[in-house]
Structure 1
C-alpha cells in the first residue's frame, strides 16, 4: 500500500513538473484542477459502463432473416439466448419486416411492464426510435435494425462480465494532450457516410474541421454532430492513430468536444474513450473515417483491454 501511495505522489509530481516546464503556461493550481477534472470524468465513465443498463450488460446478439424462430436459452432453439427461460417464445419475421412474438406459456415474459402473450415487436433504430423490449426479470430481448440488417440483442444486468469489471486501462494523464485546435467551419455542413463495425453505412453531418499541432507538425480532424445528444450540439470525433490496434481499440476511439468558442475547439485527448464495441461484441459502432486516421501516436485516453467472456 505504501509503494502504491508513493507511486501516486510521484506521478502527480512528474505531471506538475512537466506542466511547469518553460513554455507550458500552466500554473501548479491549474494543473491540479485539470487532474481533478479528468479523474472525475474517469469515475463517471466507469460508473456508466458498470451500470445495470451499461454496455457490459449486453450478452447476446445475432442477425435475422424472414422466417420463424424458436427463442430461448435451450440449445435446441433457433435463437439461443445466453441466459433466461429455456423457451422464451416464438418469433415470426414476415417478408415485409414485421416481427410478431408469441411468448412461451411458462416464460413469464412482459412488455411495457404488462404480461406478454403476443405482440408486434418494433425494431430499435439508432437516433430514430426505441425498440419494443421483451422483459424477463431484469433481462431484455429486443430487435434492432442497422441499415437493411435486422438483428436481435439480449441484455442481462447480471452478466459476469459486468459484475467482474472494475477498471478501465488508461495512458497516464498528460496535460499536453489537452489541445486547443483552430476551428475551420465549412461554408455549409457536409453530408458524409460513416461505416459501422459490421460494414453498414451511417449518414452523418460534418460541420467543419479542427486543426492542431503536436511537436511542430499540423494535423486535422473532422467531427460529426453528436446525434445522441442533439440538444447539447456537441462535436463527435471518431479517430484512430498509431496506437490503434496495438495499445488502443483498432476501429476507433471517440472524443467529444464542446462547440467552438471564438474559433477554437478544445480537444482533450486524455478523455479519448473506447467505443462500446471494445467492451462487448454484441453492439454495432461507427468506426473512424479515413480522413481521421492520424499519423501520430496519441498516447492519451483509454487503452484497449481484453475482457473475460
Structure 2
C-alpha cells in the first residue's frame, strides 16, 4: 500500500513543480516576447516573406516572371510581364503591361507613383507578391515580398537558449552627447547613427559596457559574443532595453537578444 501512495505523492509533487515553473513571471515574460517575435516575422510586413532586393537603373526597369525582364520575379507566382518601373531624377513610377493584374490596395492600377511617398511606402500587389521602393543614399531598389515564399513555407520556429535570470542585469546609463557610431547594413553600406550613451553592467564580477543607438528612452544595442562563431548570426545580435529610471538605471535582459532582422 505504501508504494502506490508514494508514487501518487511523487506524481503530485512533479505536477506542482511543473506548474511553478510555468508560472515563473520572468519565464512567462520571455516566452510571451518570443511568441510576439514569431508573429511579427510571419506577418504580411514581416521579414520571412522577403523575396528579393533589386537595385534600379536610371530609366526603365521591366518586371515579371519571364527571364527577359530587367528584374525577374518568382515565375511560379508572377505573370510573365507585369510592366515597368521607371526611375528618373529621383522619382519612381510604375506603368503596367497590357492585361497585367496589378493592384494598389484593392484597386487595379495601370500606373502609379511609387517614390517619393508620404508616410508609408506605396505597395503594389500581384497574386502573392507585394513590392515597394526603398532608398539607400542616392540609390533606389524594389523590395519584393512573397506571402507564399520559400522561407514562409519552410519556417519551423526559432531555436532559443535556456531562459535564465542570470542574463537579466542591472545597467547604469552613462550619457555621451554628440557621439556617433558607424553602422554597416546588409547591403554593405555604412552610415552614422547618433549614440545617446553607453550602459555599464557587471556579469560574474566583470564589468562590461554596451554603446546604444536610438534614443535614451528606447535604447537599442548591436553586440557580439563568442556564440557568433557557431550558434548565432556571425554579424552580431540585436537587443532592446527599457528607458533608464530617474537615477539612470535600467535592466538589460539578454534572454531577449535576437538575430537580425
After TM superposition, is the score higher than 0.5? Answer: yes
State the shift of 1:193 in Å: 3.4
Match of 1:35 in 2: 27
**TM-score of the pair, normalised by structure 1:** 0.72
State the distance in 2 between where 1:88 and 1:75 align: 12
| Of 213, 217, 228, the match for 1:244 | 228
- How far apart, in 2, do the equivalents of 1:30 and 1:69 lie? 54
Higher relative contact order (CA 8 A, sep 6+): 1
* Pairwise CA distance, 1:159: 1.7
Q: What count of residue pairs does the alignment treat as equivalent?
A: 244
Secondary structure, counterpart of 2:182 in structure 1:
strand
**Aligned match of 1:173:** 163
Alignment counterpart, residue 202 of structure 1, candidates 191, 201, 226: 191
Equivalent in the alignment of 2:121: 131
Q: Which runs of 4+ in 1 moved over 3 A?
A: 28-31
Tell me the equivalent position of 1:265: 250
Task: Name which of 181, 192, 208 aligns with 1:219.
Answer: 208
Which structure would you say has the larger Rg? Answer: 2
Q: CA deviation at 1:88?
A: 1.0
**Partner residue in 1 for 2:68:** 76
Q: 1:161 to 1:103 in 2, by over 3 A?
A: same
CA contact (8 A) 1:123 1:132 kept: no
Kept after mapping to 1: 8 A contact 2:217/2:244 = no
Asked if the contact 2:213–2:220 (Cα under 8 Å) also holds between the matched residues in 1, the reply is: yes
TM-score scaled by length of structure 2: 0.84
- Taking the aligned partners of 1:139 and 1:197, their CA distance within structure 2 comes to 22
Residue 179 of structure 2 aligns to a residue in which SS?
A: strand
Deviations 1:42-65 (A, max 9, x none): 111111112233111111222122
1:110: which partner in 2? 103
Displacement of 1:221 in angstroms is: 0.3
Unaligned runs of 5+ in 2: 1-13
Q: Distance in 1 between matches of 2:99 and 2:22?
A: 61
C-alpha deviation, 1:123, in angstroms: 5.6
5+ residue gaps, structure 1, are 1-8, 14-27, 227-231, 277-309
Does the aligned pair in 2 maintain the 1:197–1:251 contact within 8 Å?
no
1:45 corresponds to which residue?
37
In the other structure, the counterpart of 1:302 is: none
1:64 paired with 2:56, answer yes
Kept in 1, the 8 Å contact 2:93–2:115? The answer is no
What is the DSSP-based 3-state SS (H/G/I as helix, E as strand, rest coil) of the residue aligned with 1:169? coil
**Which secondary structure state, in structure 2, belongs to the residue aligned with residue 106 of structure 1?**
coil
Partners of 2:204 and 2:23 lie apart in 1 by 20
Question: Where is the strand percentage greater, Structure 1 or Structure 2?
Answer: 2
Cα distance in 1 for partners of 2:196, 2:178 equals 4
Residue 121 of structure 1: aligned partner: 114
Task: Provide, for residues 208-227 of structure 1, a one-character-per-residue CA deviation record: whole Å limited to 9, x for no partner.
Answer: 1101112221111011116x
Judged with a 3 Å threshold, the aligned counterparts in structure 2 of structure 1 residues 114 and 88 are, in CA distance, closer, same or farther, namely same
* Shift in alpha-carbon separation, 1:238–1:59, aligned structure 2, 3 A: same
Shift of 1:138: 4.5
